[in-house]
A and B are shown apart, each in its own frame.
Chain A
Amino acid sequence: MACHDLDHKLNFSPDVRKIVLAGNPNVGKSVFFNAFTGMYVDVSNYPGTTLEISHARVGNDLIIDTPGVYGVSSFNEEERVARDVILGADIVINVIDAVHLERDLFLTQQIIDMGIPMVIALNMIDEAARQGIQIDVDKLAKLLGVPVIPTIAVKRKGFEQIKQAVATARPGNKLEILEDMLSLVPKKVKNQAEAIIILEGDPYVAARNRVKPLNHQEEIYLARRSRVDEIVKLVLKENYSEAFFNIRLSRLMIQPLTGIPFLVLILWMLYQFIGVFIAQTVVRITEGSIMQGYYEPFIINLVNTIISPTSIIGTLLVGEFGILTMPVTSVVGLLLPLVLGFYLCLSALEDSGYLPRIAVLVDRILMRIGLNGRGIIPIILGFGCVTAATITTRLLGSSRERLIATFLLALCIPCSAQLAIITSLLMGLGAKYTIMFVAIISSILVLAGTALNWLLPGKSDDLLIDLPPLRWPQPINVLRKTSNKAVNFIKEAFPLFAGGALLISFLQITGLLVTIQKLLEPITVGWLQLPKEVANAFIMGFIRRDLGATGLFNLSLSPAQTLVSLLTITIFVPCIASTLVIFKERSWREGIIIWTSILIIAFLIGGIVSHILI
Chain B
Amino acid sequence: MTLDMAKEGQRYRIISLPETTSVRAQAIRFGIAEGAIVTCTTVIPGGPIVIAKNRQELAIGRGLAQKITIEAITTVPVNNNFMVRRRAYGLSRPRP
Q: Is B a genuine binding partner of A?
A: yes
Which of A's residues lie within 8 Å of B, judged by CB?
Answer: 70-71, 73, 75, 99-100, 102-103, 106-107, 131, 201, 217-218, 221-222, 225-226, 228-229, 240-244, 247, 250-251, 254-256, 356, 359-361, 363-364, 367, 372-373, 459, 462-467, 469
- Determine which residue in A70, A106, A467 has the highest number of CB atoms from chain B within 10 A of its CB, and name it: A467
Tell me whether A247 and B41 are in contact in the complex, defined as CB-CB below 8 angstroms, given that A75-B25, A242-B84 are known contacts.
yes
- In the complex, A256 Cα to B44 Cα: how many Å? 7
A-chain residues with CB within 8 Å of residue B41 when the two chains form the complex:
247, 251
Which of B's residues lie within 8 Å of A, judged by CB?
Answer: 21-31, 33, 41-42, 44-48, 50, 53-65, 82-85, 87
Query: What are 14 A-B pairs with beta-carbon distances under 8 A?
Result: A75-B22, A100-B55, A100-B56, A103-B29, A131-B55, A217-B21, A222-B33, A254-B50, A363-B62, A462-B60, A463-B60, A464-B64, A466-B30, A467-B59
- Determine which residue in A229, A254, A469 has the highest number of CB atoms from chain B within 10 A of its CB, and name it: A254
- In the complex, A103 Cα to B56 Cα: how many Å? 7
Check A240 against B84 for contact (C-beta < 8 Å): yes
Check B58 against A221 for contact (C-beta < 8 Å): no
Q: Which residue of chain A is the closest to B64 with respect to CB atoms?
A: A462
Which of A241, A243, A255 is within 8 Å of B44, CB to CB? Answer: A255
Check A225 against B31 for contact (C-beta < 8 Å): yes
Tell me whether A360 and B59 are in contact in the complex, defined as CB-CB below 8 angstroms, given that A75-B22, A217-B21 are known contacts.
yes
A-chain residues with CB within 8 Å of residue B60 when the two chains form the complex:
462-464
Tell me whether A364 and B46 are in contact in the complex, defined as CB-CB below 8 angstroms, given that A243-B84, A464-B27 are known contacts.
yes
Check B29 against A71 for contact (C-beta < 8 Å): yes
Give A212 Cβ to nearest chain B Cβ, in Å: 16
Tell me whether A103 and B84 are in contact in the complex, defined as CB-CB below 8 angstroms, given that A364-B44, A463-B48 are known contacts.
no
B-chain residues with CB within 8 Å of residue A218 when the two chains form the complex:
21, 24-25, 28
Tell me whether A217 and B25 are in contact in the complex, defined as CB-CB below 8 angstroms, given that A364-B47, A462-B61, A466-B56 are known contacts.
yes
- List 17 additional A-B contacts (Cβ < 8 Å) besides A225-B29, A466-B30: A70-B29, A71-B25, A71-B29, A99-B55, A100-B55, A107-B29, A218-B25, A221-B28, A240-B83, A243-B83, A363-B62, A364-B47, A367-B61, A372-B61, A462-B64, A463-B64, A467-B57
Tell me whether A251 and B31 are in contact in the complex, defined as CB-CB below 8 angstroms, given that A218-B24, A462-B63, A463-B59 are known contacts.
no
Check B61 against A363 for contact (C-beta < 8 Å): yes
Give A68 Cβ to nearest chain B Cβ, in Å: 13
Check A363 against B44 for contact (C-beta < 8 Å): yes
Check A221 against B25 for contact (C-beta < 8 Å): yes
Check A467 against B55 for contact (C-beta < 8 Å): no
Which of A70, A75, A131, A251 is within 8 Å of B30, CB to CB? Answer: A70
The 6 lowest CB-CB distance pairs between A and B, nearest first, are A463-B61, A462-B61, A462-B64, A364-B47, A467-B57, A240-B82
Check B54 against A102 for contact (C-beta < 8 Å): yes
Q: Which residue of chain B is the closest to A99 with respect to CB atoms?
A: B55
Which of A244, A359, A459, A462 is within 8 Å of B62, CB to CB? Answer: A462
User: Number of contacts between A and B (CB, 8 Å)?
Assistant: 128
Which of B27, B44, B53, B54 is within 8 Å of A360, CB to CB? Answer: B44
Check B24 against A363 for contact (C-beta < 8 Å): no
- In the complex, A229 Cα to B20 Cα: how many Å? 23
A-chain residues with CB within 8 Å of residue B58 when the two chains form the complex:
464-467
- In the complex, A459 Cα to B62 Cα: how many Å? 13
- In the complex, A243 Cα to B46 Cα: how many Å? 29
Give A187 Cβ to nearest chain B Cβ, in Å: 27
A-chain residues with CB within 8 Å of residue B21 when the two chains form the complex:
201, 217-218
Tell me whether A373 and B85 are in contact in the complex, defined as CB-CB below 8 angstroms, given that A103-B31, A463-B59, A467-B59 are known contacts.
no
Q: Which residue of chain B is the closest to A24 with respect to CB atoms?
A: B29
Check A359 against B59 for contact (C-beta < 8 Å): yes
Check A254 against B25 for contact (C-beta < 8 Å): no
Check A102 against B29 for contact (C-beta < 8 Å): no
B-chain residues with CB within 8 Å of residue A99 when the two chains form the complex:
55
Check B45 against A256 for contact (C-beta < 8 Å): yes
Check A222 against B50 for contact (C-beta < 8 Å): no
Tell me whether A102 and B56 are in contact in the complex, defined as CB-CB below 8 angstroms, given that A221-B29, A360-B47, A467-B50 are known contacts.
yes
- In the complex, A247 Cα to B41 Cα: how many Å? 9
Which of B42, B55, B62, B64 is within 8 Å of A254, CB to CB? Answer: B42
Q: Which residue of chain B is the closest to A97 with respect to CB atoms?
A: B55
Q: Which residue of chain B is the closest to A469 with respect to CB atoms?
A: B55
A-chain residues with CB within 8 Å of residue B46 when the two chains form the complex:
364
- In the complex, A241 Cα to B21 Cα: how many Å? 39
Check A73 against B25 for contact (C-beta < 8 Å): yes
- In the complex, A260 Cα to B83 Cα: how many Å? 29
A-chain residues with CB within 8 Å of residue B50 when the two chains form the complex:
254, 360, 467
